[in-house]
Amino acid sequence: MKAVRVHNYGGPEVLQFEDAPRPTPGSGELLIRVHAASVNPIDWKVRAGYMKDYIPLPLPFIPGWDVSGVVEAVGSGVTKFKKGDEVYARPDVTAHGYGAYAQYVVAKEAETALKPKSIDHVHAATIPVGAVTPWRALFDTAGLKKDQKVLIHGAAGGVGSFAVQLAKWKGAYVIGTASTRNQAFLRQLGVDEPIDYEKTRFEDVVHDVDVVLDPIGGDTQKRSWKTLKKGGILVSI
């Protein structure tokens, strides 16, 4: 099969489009024929070697943590999917070094779902990392509950927009920051209190929140501490 592989850590120039062995699904795994794969910050951070101590990968490896496609084959023990099913998934690149930047990729049954018929493969491929990341941050780490107040930075971005919808689903009061041009989008998402960071310093108007979700870091993170109530939680991703 054709794939984009990384033989050495570095900049975009280390990405090599070449032939690679087609993976074989093991027990509890599916082989997916890739229709679309998305690019996440983790892809370039891993490619550059910034996470090699935290996420050790065999060289060469194929990046890509998001995929949407069609099931080509299933391994033993797989019961929820069959050949021909349209699915989207989060391949476990750390397990064997095979990601979604290829014609075929293997994913665990537990990290795969049927693709909704209402969206195409391109849109479905944006969901796994973008949605799982805020789910873990808001619920697994921060323990966000109904009626709590959460401040979400970058609320119009990939992770932020999913975070807003998940927090609203939970019944939380959502404050979101974004640029001037994205204020209408925040309201469409259901943000209770949109903040235009180009016009307002959020720490001047936001106080006593239970949770801050910060995908930005740096100065934004430092200023966010002022918005938390006593015992509040800041999650940086």
- Are 116 and 98 contained in the same domain? yes
Which CATH number does the domain housing residue 213 bear? 3.40.50.720
- Are 224 and 145 contained in the same domain? yes
**Are 152 and 174 in contact, with CB atoms under 8 Å apart?**
yes
Pairing of strands 193-196, 209-214: unpaired
Domains contained in the chain, number:
2
- Are 57 and 156 contained in the same domain? no
- Are 114 and 96 contained in the same domain? yes
One-letter amino acid identity for 115? K
- Are 172 and 200 contained in the same domain? yes
**Are 30 and 106 in contact, with CB atoms under 8 Å apart?**
yes
Which CATH number does the domain housing residue 71 bear? 3.90.180.10
For residue 192, with 0-12 CB atoms within 10 Å meaning exposed, 13-18 middle and 19 or more buried, which class applies? middle
- Are 7 and 101 contained in the same domain? yes
Q: Which residues, including other chains, have CB under 8 Å from residue 113's CB and lie 6 or more apart?
A: 87, 88, 89
- Of the candidates 126, 157, 186, which is a domain's last residue? 126
> What percent of the chain has a predicted confidence (pLDDT) above 90?
95
Residue among 148, 147, 200, 211 nearest 177 (CA): 200
Question: pLDDT tens, 154-163?
Answer: 999 999 999 9
- Are 201 and 229 contained in the same domain? yes
Token pair for 122 = 């391109």
Residue among 24, 18, 208, 32 nearest 115 (CA): 32
- Of the candidates 126, 141, 170, which is a domain's last residue? 126
Q: What does the chain come to in residues?
A: 237
Q: Phi and psi of 220, rounded to 5°?
A: -60, -40
For tokens 């970058």, the residue is 154
Task: Inform me whether the pLDDT recorded for 206 exceeds 90.
Answer: yes
Question: pLDDT tens, 20-73?
Answer: 999 999 999 999 999 999 999 899 999 999 999 988 899 999 999 999 999 999
Burial string for 219-235 (b: 16+ CB within 10 Å, else e) reads ebeebbeebbeeebbbb
- Are 90 and 147 contained in the same domain? no
Task: Inform me whether the pLDDT recorded for 178 exceeds 90.
Answer: yes
- Of the candidates 96, 126, 156, which is a domain's last residue? 126
**Are 51 and 42 in contact, with CB atoms under 8 Å apart?**
yes
> What percent of the chain has a predicted confidence (pLDDT) above 70?
100
Domain of 142 in residue numbering reads as 129-236
**Are 81 and 30 in contact, with CB atoms under 8 Å apart?**
yes
- Are 12 and 117 contained in the same domain? yes
- Are 109 and 211 contained in the same domain? no
What average pLDDT does the chain have?
96
- Are 34 and 109 contained in the same domain? yes
- Are 31 and 106 contained in the same domain? yes
Task: Inform me whether the pLDDT recorded for 95 exceeds 90.
Answer: no
User: What pTM, to 2 d.p., does this model score?
Assistant: 0.86
